[in-house]
Chains A and B, each alone.
Chain A
Amino acid sequence: MANSLTIAPAVERLRATRVWKSIFRRGPALTNRTRSLAVFGNLFLHFLPVKVREKSLRVRASYYVGSISFLLFVVLAVTGVLLMFYYHPAVPQAYRDMKDLRFVVSNGVFLRNLHRLAAQLMVLAVFWHMFHVFYRGGYRPPHEFNWVVGVVLLLVTLFLSYTGYLLPWDQLAFWAITVGTNIVSAMPLIGRRVRFVSLGGNLVGENALLRFYVLHCVVLPLIAVFLVAVHFWRVQKDGGLTVREEDGGKGN
């Protein structure tokens, strides 16, 4: 196993050091016991099961779209925080910041492209994940509640994307939000009030921009992180991915 041409021996020596052990609470993960410890002894991995079914690891079992949704969320959080360094939620400074990202900030266009692309893909990935889970019967007992959490996460994803849509404060953003929030006022009795509260006024203006900014950068991400944690934890507690007898086989 140890090849003098690879870095493996160096890594193994590192893993045996006192500092490594103090950080990861274990030595090298070479036995099943230490490999279990590596999962349940780690805050960020403990929501995963220690063992997984070989069948549920196959690509056709999940296409990893659930994982991809989460990883896109991570990419969005990182690029989003970087974008926040250059953004003011004010009219018309928000639009000028978009211009600055294009012409002044190093790699500003790239940063914005990455954030927007990941956002669109996350909506697609979450939809695909939901439909895939449905067709596999992944909502069946004991997974009922986790399916409901997933539906709420889909809505949170849509709201995250929608609130982010206004932030560039260009024509595309302004009229998309105007069209969308006009639909809300069709709600019987409370429609106009709901629209007033969500926009902070009767028109899409600077109050709406500030509200959408706070929702997009603080409120909705916090809700998403909380629900994702519940979602992952429940996957493990409910017995892992749904494995079908004919896996990785055809539709139902």
Chain B
Amino acid sequence: MAEKETKEARYEAGFGSNAKKEPVRIVFITRKTSAKVVGDIGPRLMTYPHLLIREAIVFMILVISLVTIALFWDAPLEQLANPLLTPNPAKAPWYFLGLQELLHYFPPLVAGIIIPTLVVIALIVIPYFNINIEGAPLWSGNAKRTLLIFLSVVIGLTMLLAAFRAWTVLVPTDVVGLLMLASYDGSAERRAGAKAWWRRERTLPWWVMTWFISVAVVLTVVGTFFRGPGWSWVWPWSSHAG
């Protein structure tokens, strides 16, 4: 039944569960594919009390911290809403300030509609892509070819963002790009062994998500603390009516 492809036997090829019919499906069972087929799951404990006591402790710590902070940190309340008096800048809630920062660079249709829609669609379809089923690191295949594609994508993206003068997107993009480059290692022998976190072998999805989070965090922080009247750059420590 088990078909050994390599000497390490990374795959086991089996058939669909209905043994009476013709096998219509070959199931690839790899180490990282399914929680159900993880070999050694270790010891198991009773939910009652082992999980419930932990949840209770988490709840207690959470409520104590919330109450402590809420006693000393007041929720803001400004003047009565006045449609005739526009504050400058008018800011959305903090979790949308990344989008507002994008709106500063790109037309509303792109920054306000297309990019958020694409992000949500990308998040939803993540689990339905089984391209890299082994979880192979980025540079593990044809490293030279990957490097060429990688460089053209990063340089193209950099030029596009520079054309729009979208510096707060460009900087985190290129920082992550440089880290990806730093993790490049052409030779298979040197890939093994312990390394600093940014030199470790990562998968492409890992890098894409890290890039997304970096850009989102930078945009949100800039939108929250570094933007003043007319969405101009201000330093948070300089005095301004933000």
A-to-B contact residues, CB < 8 Å: 29, 32, 35-36, 38-39, 45, 48-55, 57, 64, 67-68, 71-72, 75, 91-92, 95, 98-99, 102, 109-110, 112-118, 120-121, 123, 130-131, 134-135, 137, 139-144, 147-148, 151, 154-155, 158, 161-162, 165, 168-176, 178-180, 183-184, 186-188, 191, 203-204, 238-245, 251-252
Contacts and interface: CB of A to CB of B under 8 A. Distances in A.
A90 B9 CA distance: 68
Interface string B78-105: 1111110111001111111001100100
A176 B25 CA distance: 52
Interface string B119-142: 010011011100000010000000
Nearest to A101: B77
A155 B35 contact: no
B152 to A, nearest CB: 26
- 3 interchain residue pairs of minimum CB distance: A174-B81, A186-B108, A144-B127
Interface of B: 31-36, 38-52, 54-55, 58-59, 62-63, 66-67, 69-71, 73-83, 85-87, 90-96, 99-100, 103, 107-109, 112-113, 120, 123-124, 126-128, 135, 197, 200, 202-203, 206, 209, 213
B62 A71 contact: yes
B45 A52 contact: yes
Contact of A169 (B59, B81, B99): B81
Given A71-B58, A140-B34, A252-B135, A176 B73 contact: no
12 contacts: A48-B47, A51-B47, A54-B44, A64-B58, A114-B67, A114-B70, A141-B34, A142-B34, A147-B126, A151-B123, A188-B109, A245-B38
Nearest to B43: A54
Given A92-B80, A95-B81, A171-B87, A135 B127 contact: no
B113 A142 contact: no
Given A48-B51, A117-B70, A176 B113 contact: no
Given A151-B123, A183-B99, A240-B35, A113 B70 contact: yes
B67 to A, nearest CB: 7
B196 to A, nearest CB: 12
Contacts of A113: 69-71, 73-75
Contact of A175 (B32, B74, B90): B90
A252 B203 contact: yes
Contact of B50 (A52, A112, A141, A175): A52
A142 B37 CA distance: 10
A175 B93 contact: no
B55 A171 contact: no
A54 B45 contact: yes
B48 A174 contact: no
Given A71-B62, A142-B34, A251-B206, 5 more contacts: A99-B77, A137-B135, A148-B124, A170-B77, A176-B90
